[in-house]
Amino acid sequence: MKFTFETSSEKSSILLIYTGGTIGMKADPAEQTLKPFDFSQILEEVPELGKFAYRIDSCTFRPLIDSADVEPRQWQKLAGLIEEKYEDYDGFVILHGTDTMAYSASALSFMIEGLTKPVIFTGSQLPVGAARTDGKENLVSAVEIAAAKDSDGHAVVPEVCIYFGNTLMRGNRTTKVSSENFRAFASGNFPALAEAGINIRYNRSGIIRPADWERKPVFHTALDTRVSILKLHPGITPQVVRNILCGPETRAVIIETYGSGNAPSKGWFIDLIKEAVSMGKILLNVTQCLAGSVDMKLYATGKKLENEGVLSGYDCTTEGALAKLFFLMGMSDDNDFVTAQLDKNLRGEISKKLETDQNFR
Ligand code: ASP
C-alpha cells in the first residue's frame, strides 16, 4: 500500500450532517438507555473543530435516529440534501450510527454517480461526551479528510467513505465487525484509502477520481427494495429456502454462500434455485467470508449454482450487493439490464476494472 502526505486543505467549507447514532447520544437515567440529544451540544463537546480554518456548517435530521431504524428514505433524504448543497461545500461529513453505517455508505456510493467531493461517514462506539470517547478523533479527522484538497484544488478523496478507528475505507467495501472495538469496521477486500496517525497518509493509487471534475454528479434516488437475503447454514430447510427464493415480493435474492461461493448440492436445493430462476428472480452469490471472492468454478458445489444462472457477486460485501441491487433495480424494470450491470465494477465495489462510461444519464 502506498501512502503520501497531504497538507493543502485551507479555507474548505464542510457540511456536517447529523443523523443520530451513539456519537450524539446521552444516557437517559429514567430508561437507563442511550438516546440522541441535540446536535448543537456536539459542537460544544468538540471545540477542537474550531481550530480548523474551515467553514463548518451543520444540519440535523429530525427525528434523530438510532441507525437500526435507518430506511432507504433516509438515504434518499441524504442524497437529496447533498445534491441541494453540492455547490456550496467542498465536502460532506455524515454522523451516523455504526450499526447500519456500512449499508448507508454503500447506498450513497451508488446513488451519487460521478462524485467530485468527499462524502465521509463517521460515528463512534462511545458517546462524544464520554471520557474515553472515540467520537472526537473520528469526527475531527473525518472533517480534515473531507476538507483535504490537492495542490490543483481538487478533493483528495472524492468518494463515499467511512472513517473510523484511524482508518479511511471505501464505503461500499466496509462491514461492521465489532460492537465494542474502536476499530469497528473492516474492508476485507480493499486496502484502506487513508490512515491517520501523526499525519493523515492517503493511499492515492487506491482512490477513485472522477473522469470529469467539472461535471456535476448525477443523483439517483429511485430505489427498488424488493431484495431478500438468504444466508446458508447447515440444517437449512427446503421451506425456508423456498420462502426466501420464491417469495412473491422479491425481485432479487442475495445468496450468502460458503467460502468461494459454495452451496449445498442436494437435489431439493438446486431444484429451488431452478424454480426461482424460472420465475425470473435475480440470484446474486456473495460469500459469507469477510475476505476473498466468489468463484463458482472452483468447486462442483459452486459450479451447479453457476450452471443454473446464479450470478457472481465477486468480492462484494452483502451491504454493497444490497445497495447495488436497490440502485440498479430502481433504474430499470429490465432484469437483463440489471444483470449486465451487476457484472460490472461501477463504484469500486468489486475487484474488476472500473467502468468509466456508465451511460446512466
Ligand atoms: N445503535 C447505534 C446506532 O447504530 C450504535 C452506534 O451508533 O454505534 O445508531
What is the CA(70)–ligand 1 centre distance, in A?
Answer: 11
- Local confidence band at 252 (pLDDT 50, 70, 90 cut-offs): very high
Q: CB under 8 Å to 75, separation ≥6 — which residues? A: 104, 107, 108, 111, 223
**Atom 8 (ligand 1) nearest CA:** 98
284 domain residue, yes or no: yes
Ligand 1 site-directed mutation target among 18, 22, 128, 179, most atoms within 8 Å of CB? 22
What is the CA(101)–ligand 1 centre distance, in A?
Answer: 9
358 domain residue, yes or no: no
Tell whether 21 and 146 lie within a shared domain. yes
Atom of ligand 1 minimally distant from the CA of 65: 9
Please give the average per-residue pLDDT across 22-51, as a whole number.
80
174 domain residue, yes or no: yes
pTM of the full structure: 0.94
23 domain residue, yes or no: yes
What is the CA(300)–ligand 1 centre distance, in A?
Answer: 41
Domain, as residue range, for 24: 4-219
Continuous H helices in the chain: 40-45, 72-85, 101-111, 135-147, 238-245, 267-278, 300-307, 318-331, 335-342
Ligand 1 site-directed mutation target among 70, 99, 128, 181, most atoms within 8 Å of CB? 99
Tell whether 32 and 136 lie within a shared domain. yes
Per cent of the chain over pLDDT 90 is: 84
Query: Could you give the number of structural domains in the chain?
Result: 2
What is the CA(66)–ligand 1 centre distance, in A?
Answer: 6
Atom of ligand 1 minimally distant from the CA of 22: 7
* CATH of residue 243: 3.40.50.40
Please give the average per-residue pLDDT across 219-242, as a whole number.
98
143 domain residue, yes or no: yes
Catalytic positions, written as ranges:
22
Tell whether 202 and 292 lie within a shared domain. no
Tell whether 138 and 284 lie within a shared domain. no
pLDDT at 19 over 80: yes
What is the CA(267)–ligand 1 centre distance, in A?
Answer: 42
Ligand 1 pocket, CB under 6 A: 20-22, 66-68, 97-99, 123, 125
* End residue of a domain, out of 179, 203, 219: 219
Atom of ligand 1 minimally distant from the CA of 101: 4
Mean pLDDT of the chain: 93
Least confident window among 109-118, 243-252, 349-358: 349-358
Atom of ligand 1 minimally distant from the CA of 68: 4
Whether the link from the prior residue into 217 is cis, omega within 30° of 0, is no
Residue 6 pLDDT: 41
**Atom 3 (ligand 1) nearest CA:** 97
Could you list the beta-strand ranges (E) of 123-270: 160-164, 167-170, 175-176, 185-186, 194-196, 200-202, 218-219, 227-231, 252-257
Handedness of CA 193, 359, 91, 322 (dihedral sign): negative
What is the CA(155)–ligand 1 centre distance, in A?
Answer: 29
What is the CA(143)–ligand 1 centre distance, in A?
Answer: 20
Tell whether 145 and 285 lie within a shared domain. no
* CATH of residue 116: 3.40.50.1170
Ligand 1 site-directed mutation target among 18, 42, 67, 176, most atoms within 8 Å of CB? 67
Tell whether 161 and 261 lie within a shared domain. no
Tell whether 295 and 329 lie within a shared domain. yes
**Atom 1 (ligand 1) nearest CA:** 66
- Local confidence band at 34 (pLDDT 50, 70, 90 cut-offs): confident
Please give the average per-residue pLDDT across 154-173, as a whole number.
98
Phi, psi of 162 (to 5 degrees): -115, 130
**Atom 7 (ligand 1) nearest CA:** 97
Angle between helix 101-111 and helix 72-85 axes, rounded to 10 deg: 50
Least confident window among 33-47, 225-239, 319-333: 33-47
Tens digit of each residue's pLDDT (9 = 90 or more) over 292-305: 999 999 988 889 99
Tens digit of each residue's pLDDT (9 = 90 or more) over 67-104: 999 999 999 999 999 999 999 999 999 999 999 999 99
Atom of ligand 1 minimally distant from the CA of 179: 8
Tell whether 208 and 234 lie within a shared domain. no
Q: CB under 8 Å to 130, separation ≥6 — which residues? A: none
Tell whether 196 and 267 lie within a shared domain. no
Residue 59 pLDDT: 92
Tell whether 193 and 256 lie within a shared domain. no
**What cell numbers appear for 63 in the block?**
427525528
Buried b (16+ CB within 10 A) or exposed e, 72-105: bebbbebbebbbeebeebbbbbbbbbbbbbbbbb
Tell whether 136 and 276 lie within a shared domain. no
Residue 5 pLDDT: 34
- Local confidence band at 10 (pLDDT 50, 70, 90 cut-offs): low
Tell whether 144 and 93 lie within a shared domain. yes
Residue 30 pLDDT: 82
